[in-house]
Amino acid sequence: MIERYSLPDMAAIFTDEARMQRWVEVEVTVLEALASVGIASSDHAAACRVHAPTVDSAFVREVAERERVTDHDVAAFVDVLQQKVGMPHGAWLHHGLTSTDVVDTAQCWALRDAADLLIEAQSDLIEALIELARAHRDTPMIGRTHGIHAEPTTFGAKVALWALQLDRDRQRMMEARANIAVCKLSGAVGTYSNITPDVEAHVADYLGLIPVPATQVIARDRHAEYLWACASTATTLESIAVELRHLQRTEVGEVREGFKSGQKGSSAMPHKRNPIAAETITGLSRVVRSHLTVGLQDVALWHERDISHSSAERIVLPDASLATHYMLRRMVRLIAGLEVDTEKMRVNLELLNGVVFSQSVLLKLVEAGATRDDAYRIVQDAASKAMAESRSFRSVLEQNSSLGLTSAQLDEAFDMKRVLRYASRAVEALDHLK
């Protein structure tokens, strides 16, 4: 992921230095486990722990230089690590392991930590949405279907539904975290031929991971599930962003992204104030969803192992994590700074002179004895006339001598409080979220 969309805490997980530092920790911890079961000398394990290097850019360069000889990144890493630790102790590093033992365990460790950051960001956004929903619990606005005015709703209900959907994404991420926080240290085809299950269990416990049966590689449905959790979150963020973009259109004008002092909306047109955060989030969601396709394709590997997944994962796992994290944090800022124009919501709600109560009038006519089709045609004709002539829908109805509804019945049909009396249920549903 390019630096523009990489936040420091998530980016730190996926640097070459961080990746190889995890490899070092896996290698040394395995040796300590071997010593604990009497396979390796405790002196060797202690020496490797003491002399294990802190991975820096120089270490990464040395591995890259060695890889030009080995044409194998983990083999190059082990060579450099053994040289740094020194002999004879270093000779015991990578004992009984295959490269994927180290790579997959370290990668799942990294993804677990990435999931923690994503869950934290999801929680922060949910909190911001809850605050906004409760603030506008009773703020009426027009609901739209197919982009056309439908019936009244509240802005609070709209925002509450976003929060509830994002909470479901958080649950998905938590499940993905549980399924990715695993390790395997079972050797070349996963049969523990040269390493014992108790060594794997020791390392897993130390790293806070769960040992799982595997071939030479950990099954990639786990990684695909993680990418699905990212893609689902990204899609929820896009649905919020698209709605905010529509509501910010000049013709609608019901919300506006925050605009800081000195900001420019356009290099050419000084009047412009564009929904740039929402548009950025919309674009990045496309990237994250594309990575899910790769993750699903990585599940089917040859026999006990091939590396067709490896090159793809070097791109899609960090990029999906970074982009999803950036989107969540960007949306938190967007929601925190969102300007809600309640007056424009009122104006838009009244734009069609009351025809948004057409269903209520229809039902009153049915309750008064009309057939549904007859009632529908009467209301449809009155609504069309009101819109065509820019007249009050109620006044058009009242001029229809055959309508057969009393003033009290019309009052009830046009009662905004009655229409919205249950709209706050979505906001109330937020009470169980944390």
pLDDT in tens, 414-424: 999 999 999 99
Does 237 score more than 90 pLDDT?
Answer: yes
For residue 339, give every residue at least 6 positions away whose Cβ sits within 8 Å of its Cβ, in sequence order, or none. 255, 256, 257, 258
pLDDT tier for residue 66 given thresholds of 50, 70 and 90: very high
For residue 34, give every residue at least 6 positions away whose Cβ sits within 8 Å of its Cβ, in sequence order, or none. 40, 45, 92, 95, 96, 195, 199
Residue ranges per domain, the chain? Answer: 1-95, 98-257+270-350+422-434, 355-413
pLDDT of residue 434: 67
Average pLDDT of the segment spanning 382-393: 95
Class of domain 355-413: mainly alpha
* Average pLDDT across the chain, whole number: 96
At 183 the three-state DSSP class reads strand
142 has which bridge partners?
A: 152
Annotated catalytic residues are 146, 266
**Same fold for the domain at 98-257+270-350+422-434 and the one at 355-413?**
no
**CATH 1.10.275.10 for domain 1-95:** yes
In angstroms, the Cα distances linking 202 to 42, 120, 199 are 15, 29, 5
Average pLDDT of the segment spanning 37-58: 96
Percent of the chain with pLDDT over 70: 100
For residue 215, give every residue at least 6 positions away whose Cβ sits within 8 Å of its Cβ, in sequence order, or none. 189, 190, 303, 304, 305
> In the structure encoding, which two tokens stand for residue 341, read together?
């124009």
pLDDT in tens, 109-135: 999 999 999 999 999 999 999 999 999
pLDDT in tens, 247-276: 999 999 999 999 888 888 888 888 889 999
pTM of the predicted protein model: 0.95
How far apart CA 434 and CA 410 sit, in angstroms, is 43
**CATH 1.20.200.10 for domain 98-257+270-350+422-434:** yes
Average pLDDT of the segment spanning 209-222: 97
